[in-house]
Structure 1
C-alpha cells in the first residue's frame, strides 16, 4: 500500500477547530498516521472544501 502524503504545510494556525494551512481538524491531524488510504482520501477531500469555505489559500511551503 503506497502512502498518502501528509497535507501539513507547517502553518498550524486554527480557525475554530480547523487548521487554516491544511484544512484538517485537530482530531484528523492527530489520527492521520493511523488512517487507512481511503480514509485519508476522504479527509483530504473534506479538508479542501473547508479551506474553500475559510477562504484560506492552503499554500504549500517552498522547497
Structure 2
C-alpha cells in the first residue's frame, strides 16, 4: 500500500553503513532478523528494538562502524514522534 502524503516514514536506525559483523549490522546494530522484519513491524515494535541498539553498538566495540554517529541518530529518532 503506498504511503499518503500525510503518513510519516517508518523510524529507522539506519545510517547507510550496511556491513555485517556476524549477523549484526556494523552501522545500526540491528540483527539480520530485525532488519528482515523491520518493514512489517509496528512503530512501537521498531522503537522497542531501537531502544536497545545503543547498548548493543557499545558492546560491539571496534566491530561497530561509527557507533557514536549511529547512537546520536538513534537517540534523535527516539525523541521524535
| TM norm structure 1 | 0.76
Identify the structure with the greater helix proportion: 2
The answer to whether structure 1 residue 16 and structure 2 residue 22 are counterparts is yes
- Give the conservation status (yes or no) of the 8 Å contact 1:23–1:58: no
Structure 2: gaps of 5 or more residues: 1-6, 71-81
> What's the secondary structure of 1:59's corresponding residue?
helix
* Count of residue pairs the alignment pairs up: 60
What SS class does the counterpart of residue 14 from structure 2 fall into? coil
Paired residue for 1:59? 69
Superposition pairs of residues 1-63 of structure 1, within 5 angstroms? 3-55=9-61, 56=64, 57=67, 59=69
In structure 1, runs of 5+ residues without a counterpart are none
Cα contact 1:21–1:58 (8 A) shared by 2: no
The verdict on how the C-alpha distance between 1:7 and 1:14 changes in structure 2, with shifts beyond 3 A counting, is same
Taking structure 2 as the reference length, what is the TM-score of the superposition?
0.62
